[in-house]
Structure 1
C-alpha cells in the first residue's frame, strides 16, 4: 500500500513517545484512523464514548505523567465536543495536542455539511493552531505543535482536511518552496534553564530571611519538589498552605502544613493568611485573590516558571523565574534558620482542625455523612492510590478527608472547575499507571454527564474504581445560592434517586448501591478488591453543607437571609448543622 499523509502524522507522534491517542472516529477522520490502523503497534487508539471525555483523558494523562496528551475528533460536532476538556488543559497549564478532521479542501467555504472551521473556533484555547494544506507539512508541524505545547504549557491543535489525510505522504502539489523537513533523528524538547538568576535568588533570600511570620503557598507547579518544599519550610519555620491542585505536594499529616486555602480550605490556613508578614508563593498562580493578603499588607516572593504569571495575582516584591525544584535547591543555602515559634502556633491550630474533621466522619449518621464516605475511601485505599475528583461539594470532602500520604496522587479540574472530568481522568490515569489503584470520587451530577466512560473502562480492561457521592442534587450550587441570600431553586433532582450500580453491572463491572452507613465499608472494600472496573453508588445527606474553613459575618448574614426568605429545606439543613456542631464539640 502507498504510504499516506496520515501515516506521516502517526509516525511523528510515535517518534515523540506518544503511545496512546484518546478519541472517537467519524467520517471526517477516516484517513487518520487508517494511519492509526497501519501503525497500531506503535500508537494505540483508545476508543471512548464522547469526545469531551477524550479531551479530559488527554488532559488527565498530561497532568499525571507530565507527557503530552493527545486526543482525536472528527470534523464539525466532534471537534466542538472537545472544547471543554481542552479548556481544562489550557487553564491548568498542561500540554495537550488536539487533532481534528476537516472537510476536503475543494469544498471549504461552500457551507458543506459539518463545515465548522475548527482552527477559528480553537483560537482562544490554543497556544498553537494550524490547518494542514499540504501533506509534506505534517512532520514539521507536528514537531512545532508538540514543542509549543510543552514550552507554553497549553493546547496545540492541528486540523487535517479529508483529502490531505489520504494523499500520498510525500505529495507536494505546488512545489514552489522546498518543504520543511525535520531531521531523521528522534525529536526532543529542550527545556529552558530551570535555575533562577543568582541576583533574584539573593533578593528573595533577603526578604525571606527578614520574615518574622512567614508562610509558604505551594501549588501544582511544586508537585515534583516535595523534599525541597519541606526543607524550605523547616529552614524558615514557615507553615505551608497548599492549593487544591497542589494538595499532593507534601503529605497532609506533615507538621509543616495547614492544609488548603479558600472555600474548600482550612480555618488555620485562613487565619494564617491574615497573620503573615512574608508570603512565599511556589509553583502557583492561585486565582482567588480574596483569599490572599490585601495588596501591600505583606511582602511577597514568588517562584514561578512562567514569567507572564509572576505578580499577576498579588503585587510581588521579588519575582523569581525558574522551576520550583531547582529554584528551591538554589535558594536553600542562602536562607538562615528561623525559630519555629510561629510554626508551632499553627501546628496547634491544625491539631484542633483535624480533630474537628474527624468528628464529622461519623458512621452513625443517617442519612450517610459525605465526610464519612470519604474517610472510608481514605482508610481503605493504598498508599500509592490516585484519587480523581469532580468539581462541587465532593471537592470539599476530598480536600478535607482524602489524606495525602506515601505516594498518593490527587487530580481535579483546577481553574476551569468543570463538572465531569473525574471519570475520564481515572480512565486515562489507570491506562498510564496499570499497577496503581485509581479511584474516581464523583458526584451524581458529574457522573451522569459522561457515565458511558465506565463502559469504556470495562471495554479496555481498566480496573478503575468509581465511588459516587449521590445526593441527588447539584450540591455546590445549592449552597452558593444560599450564601448569596437566596432560597435554593432548581438544584435538586426529582424522585426517584438514581441507582448507578445497575449501569455498572450492565457494563459487566462490579456495582453496589449503599443507603446505610453500616454497609459502606464492606461495599467499598469489595469494590477495591474487584479485579475489574467497580462502582459504588452511595446515597449521602443532601443537606450537609460544605462550610468554608472560616465563616465570615457576611456569609452568615446571607445564609440567614436565605432562611428568612423561605428556604424550602431549612428544617433538614438546620438539623444537619446542629449535628455537625454537636459532633465537633464531642458527643
Structure 2
C-alpha cells in the first residue's frame, strides 16, 4: 500500500527511536502533525515558540547522543527555529528540523510567507534540501538523518505545503542505520606525544566534553602523569565529584584561581576532547599536546606541538601503553608536587566559597561589613541559593542553565556528582535556553528530576513556554535568580569602567505569573526562608517556579582578576554614584 510523504517521514522517525517532536502546528505541517497524531509511540509537543522547540530537541540530542526533531511551518515558523538550531550546531547535537514551505507552484513568486529555506539555513545546517517530488523522499530523508548523526549537526528538510500528503509511487523502507566507528591517531604520533610527556616535569590536563565517555581512561592518565585536571564547563558532568582526586574546577571568567594556576605553572598542557575557545586563558610558551576527533580543532586556540586526531578513549589508552613511569622513562615515581599544590589551592578556594554560600554569612562580622557595601537591601545571596539547590537536588538530576550569572553560580556551587547531567548554551551563549532545554529533558523521562537555573532576562524572553510545561504537566523545577538585571552585561560594563546602563529589568512577581498559569509559584525574599523554600519547591508535584530575589550587586571575581578590571570596576562605581545623584556621568 502506498504511503504519503508525511507518513514515510513519521514512520521513519518512530523506527529510529524518536519519541517526541517539538514545534508549532500550521499549514504545511498539517499532514505531518496528523501522521504523528495517529502514531502510537511518537508524541507531538506543541510549544508556544519554535525557538523553544528547537532548544528542546537539541537538549534531547545532547542527553541521548541520538537524533532530536523539531518542526517549523512556512516562513516565520521556520525562521523562529534558527536560534535553537544554531545552539544545536554549536553544541554538535544531531537535530533534524522539518521546515514547511509554500506550495511548489508558488515557490519563487514572493508568495505570502515565502522564505528561501535553503538559503536561510545555509550557515547552520550540515545538510539542507527541499523535497520537490515524493519519490525523492526516502533518499533525502536518509541523507539528512545520516548526515546529522554522522557529522553531529543540524539537518533541515523542507517540505512544501502540497507535498506532504502526496503518495510515493515506489514505496520502500527507509534505511537509517549508521556505524560511526572509532578513530585512532598514527602510532608514531602517539609515541612522540608519550616521549614529550615523559620528559615533562609539570603536566596539566585541560579536559572537555569530548573526553566524558573515557572517564576511567582519563583518570588513569592523570594518575600516571600526576597531573591536575582543569575541566571545561561541559566536562563538569562526568569528571566532577569526590571520586576524582585530580580535578581543580574550571578556568576562564567563571573559573577559579587554582585552575588558572594549574595551567600557568605547567610546562606541558595536554588537551583532551576540548575546543575551549578563550585564548587569553591559555598560558604562553608551553608545550602542548592536543587530542580531538576533529582535525580542524587541532591548534586553532593555542599553538600545538603534537596533535592527535582520534577518539579520546582510544587515544588515551594508546598513550598509557607508551608512557614510562617517570619523566626519564624509567621505573621511578613521578613527582606529585604540581598536583598536590593545585589540589591544595582548589580545596582552599572551595572552603572560602562555602563561607560565602552559608545563609548565615551576612550575620557575621565580615558578612555585615560586606553587606554594607554590596547588599544594603539584604537580598538573598545567589551563592546561597545555588548551594541550597546543590544540597537538595537529586543525585541523578539533569541541570540546565541560562547564559550569564546563573551559569556562574551553577559552575561554582553545584557539583555534578553521581549521575547528574548538565546542558546549556555553552558554545553559542544564547539567552533563554534553560527553560526550553529543561522541557526537552523532562520529556525524555518524567520520573527524573530536571532543574533549570534561570536568569530573569532569559526566562522572560520565552516566558510563553511556561504554558508548555503546564499543558504537558512536566515536573521541571525552575530556579529563578531574580536580580532584576541582565547581570553578566552589568558586570561586563563595570569591569570596563562603564556605568551600568540598559541592564535593569522591570520584573513582575514571577511566582504570581506562574500561579496565574496554573503552575506552582514560590517567591522568596527573606534569606532565613531560603532553605525551606527550596525544599518545598523540590518536593512539590508538577512544574514549580521558585522566584528568589537575589542580590544584583554580587560580583563573580574572575580566576585571574587584572588591575585593569579592578580599576575599571572602581571607576564604574564612581560614575554610578554620580549618576544616582542626578548629575551626568563624565568621561
Return the TM-score normalized by structure 2: 0.91
Match of 2:337 among 311, 336, 341: 341
* Closer, same or farther: CA 468–292 of 1 in aligned 2, 3 Å: same
Unaligned regions of 5+ residues in structure 1, if any? Answer: 172-180, 572-587
Match of 2:184 among 195, 211, 230: 195
- State the match for 1:84 in structure 2: 83
Q: Where do residues 35-434 of structure 1 align in structure 2 (5 Å cutoff)?
A: 35-38=35-38, 40-170=39-169, 184=173, 187-253=176-242, 254-294=244-284, 297-337=285-325, 338-364=334-360, 365=362, 366-434=378-446
Rounded to whole Å, the distance in 2 between the matches of 1:530 and 1:349 is 39
Mapped contact 1:488–1:567 kept (Cα < 8 A): no
Rounded to whole Å, the distance in 1 between the matches of 2:442 and 2:189 is 41
Q: Shift in Å at residue 186 of structure 1?
A: 5.1
Rounded to whole Å, the distance in 1 between the matches of 2:560 and 2:356 is 16
Q: Shift in Å at residue 567 of structure 1?
A: 4.9
Unaligned regions of 5+ residues in structure 2, if any? Answer: 326-333, 363-377, 582-587
Rounded to whole Å, the distance in 1 between the matches of 2:161 and 2:194 is 57
Rounded to whole Å, the distance in 2 between the matches of 1:113 and 1:499 is 40
Rounded to whole Å, the distance in 2 between the matches of 1:392 and 1:343 is 31
Rounded to whole Å, the distance in 2 between the matches of 1:217 and 1:159 is 40
- State the match for 1:507 in structure 2: 517
Secondary structure (helix, strand or coil) at the match of 2:9 reads helix
* Closer, same or farther: CA 551–567 of 1 in aligned 2, 3 Å: farther
Rounded to whole Å, the distance in 2 between the matches of 1:145 and 1:204 is 38
Q: Shift in Å at residue 149 of structure 1?
A: 1.1
- State the match for 1:15 in structure 2: 15
Mapped contact 1:218–1:243 kept (Cα < 8 A): yes
Rounded to whole Å, the distance in 1 between the matches of 2:569 and 2:253 is 15
Q: Which segment is superposed worse, 390-399 or 305-314?
A: 305-314
Rounded to whole Å, the distance in 2 between the matches of 1:224 and 1:568 is 53
Rounded to whole Å, the distance in 1 between the matches of 2:409 and 2:477 is 17
* Closer, same or farther: CA 309–360 of 1 in aligned 2, 3 Å: same
Rounded to whole Å, the distance in 2 between the matches of 1:216 and 1:201 is 16
Mapped contact 1:219–1:249 kept (Cα < 8 A): no
Cα-to-partner distance string for 1:232-266 (whole Å, 9 max, x where unaligned): 11111110111112211312443211100100001
Q: Shift in Å at residue 538 of structure 1?
A: 0.2
Rounded to whole Å, the distance in 2 between the matches of 1:565 and 1:500 is 31
Mapped contact 1:28–1:75 kept (Cα < 8 A): yes
Mapped contact 2:28–2:162 kept (Cα < 8 A): no
Rounded to whole Å, the distance in 1 between the matches of 2:385 and 2:52 is 26
- State the match for 1:554 in structure 2: 564
Rounded to whole Å, the distance in 2 between the matches of 1:4 and 1:279 is 55
Rounded to whole Å, the distance in 1 between the matches of 2:299 and 2:219 is 24
Rounded to whole Å, the distance in 1 between the matches of 2:133 and 2:194 is 53
Rounded to whole Å, the distance in 1 between the matches of 2:169 and 2:556 is 59
Q: Which segment is superposed worse, 239-248 or 220-229?
A: 220-229
* Closer, same or farther: CA 516–566 of 1 in aligned 2, 3 Å: closer
Aligned length, in residue pairs: 556
Secondary structure (helix, strand or coil) at the match of 1:548 reads coil
Q: Shift in Å at residue 314 of structure 1?
A: 1.1
